């Protein structure tokens, strides 16, 4: 029982509450993603944010939730996540049992935007329960309670999907994918990415931002030569933050742009050459 409660608490921790007042999260638009999302929101169509890790999907949604004035409920999906973790379950309370809503149920009731990050990682039953929420029915079955709830008119379901991660064994079914409006995210253009770095890391000078972005562009070309994941905008923000915190640039590059990306000695050497050439 303790394990069960701890697990539930683990999911609870993922919850982001109502939008803060003020200017909201900083987001640098890359194309027509804001217009597409707003149109989908007006029609309450479920949205899939598609793209590699660390390219701004989560930041975009935080920005959109703030812009639309909706609370955001985020769940990072993982391989042990079941439909009960999303929907809710009966918990023992002394002699009796009490029902506890999961994050999806709370979002459905409250009219929040619910973000299921990397839903493909979760058990298949989690994908199945979202189906009736994604079409005209907009209903969530609570099987254990033998009832179905109707989604609040402002509820919106958003999932993220990283095409690079999927294997034949682990992928969303085409029939699931087609239930979503998909917005394609890529790493930003060099100019935009340098601007992001300067905004995210206080005191970073423009020239260093440009050099870091140039490293990422070269490193991304290695993706077809054995590197599983390319240097993301997030990695660049980390490298810039380490430099701003006083670490020598080459060490910052090693810690943020090389070591997390590969364990392969030759690939690490190739990345190191790129870093050295720019920093
Ligand atoms: P993802 O959800 O795609 O894995 P995130 O949204 O968490 O990636 O982005 C990682 C980091 O990169 C953010 O915390 C932010 O610092 C930065 N970032 C990426 N894209 C943007 C953007 N378009 N505007 C502002 N910051 C961005």
pLDDT digits (tens, 9 = 90+) for 180-194: 999 999 999 999 999
Of the chain, the percentage scoring pLDDT greater than 70 comes to 90
In DSSP terms, 38 is beta-bridged to none
Residue 227's pLDDT is: 78
Which of 233, 236, 242 is the best mutation target for the ligand 1 pocket, counting ligand atoms within 8 Å of the beta carbon and taking the most?
233
For the CA of 192, the closest atom of ligand 1 is 23
How far is the centre of ligand 1, averaged over its atoms, from the C-alpha of 107 (Å)? 24
Strand partners, 113: 72, 156
- Is the ipTM beyond the 0.85 threshold? yes
Task: Return mean pLDDT, the chain.
Answer: 90
Ligand 1 pocket (Cβ < 6 Å) reads 26-28, 30, 53-59, 188, 196, 200, 233-234, 237
User: What's the gap in Å between 232 CA and the centre of ligand 1?
Assistant: 9
pLDDT of residue 173: 87
Look at the alpha carbons of 245, 192, 25, 61 in this order and tell me if their dihedral is positive or negative. negative
Q: Whose C-alpha lies nearest to ligand 1, atom 12?
A: 234
Each residue's pLDDT tens digit, 20-64: 567 899 999 999 999 999 999 999 999 999 999 999 999 999 999
Here the tokens at position 26 are 């900083």
């Amino acid at each position: 029982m303790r394990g069960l409660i701890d697990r539930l608490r683990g999911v609870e921790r993922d919850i982001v509450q109502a939008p803060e007042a003020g200017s909201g999260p900083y987001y640098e638009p890359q194309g027509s993603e804001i217009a597409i999302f707003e149109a989908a929101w007006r029609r309450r169509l479920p949205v899939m944010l598609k793209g590699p890790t660390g390219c701004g999907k989560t930041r975009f949604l935080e920005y959109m939730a703030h812009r639309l004035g909706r609370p955001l409920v985020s769940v990072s999906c993982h391989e042990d996540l079941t439909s009960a973790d999303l929907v809710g379950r009966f918990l023992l309370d002394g002699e009796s049992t009490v029902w506890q809503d999961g994050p999806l149920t709370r979002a459905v009731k409250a009219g929040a935007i619910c973000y299921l990050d990397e839903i493909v990682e979760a058990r298949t039953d989690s994908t199945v329960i979202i189906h009736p929420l994604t079409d005209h029915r907009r209903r969530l079955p609570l099987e254990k309670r033998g009832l179905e709830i109707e989604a609040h008119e402002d509820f919106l379901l958003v999932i993220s999907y990283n095409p690079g991660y999927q294997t034949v064994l682990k992928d969303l079914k085409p029939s699931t994918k087609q239930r979503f409006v998909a917005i394609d995210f890529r790493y930003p253009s060099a100019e935009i990415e340098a601007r992001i770095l300067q905004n995210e890391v206080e005191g970073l000078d423009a020239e260093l931002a440009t050099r870091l972005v140039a490293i990422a562009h070269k490193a991304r070309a290695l993706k077809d030569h054995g590197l599983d994941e390319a240097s993301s905008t997030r990695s660049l923000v980390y490298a810039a933050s380490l430099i701003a915190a006083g670490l020598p640039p080459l060490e910052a590059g090693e810690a943020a742009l090389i070591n997390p990306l590969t364990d392969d000695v030759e690939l690490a050497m190739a990345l190191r050459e790129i870093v050295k050439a720019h920093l």
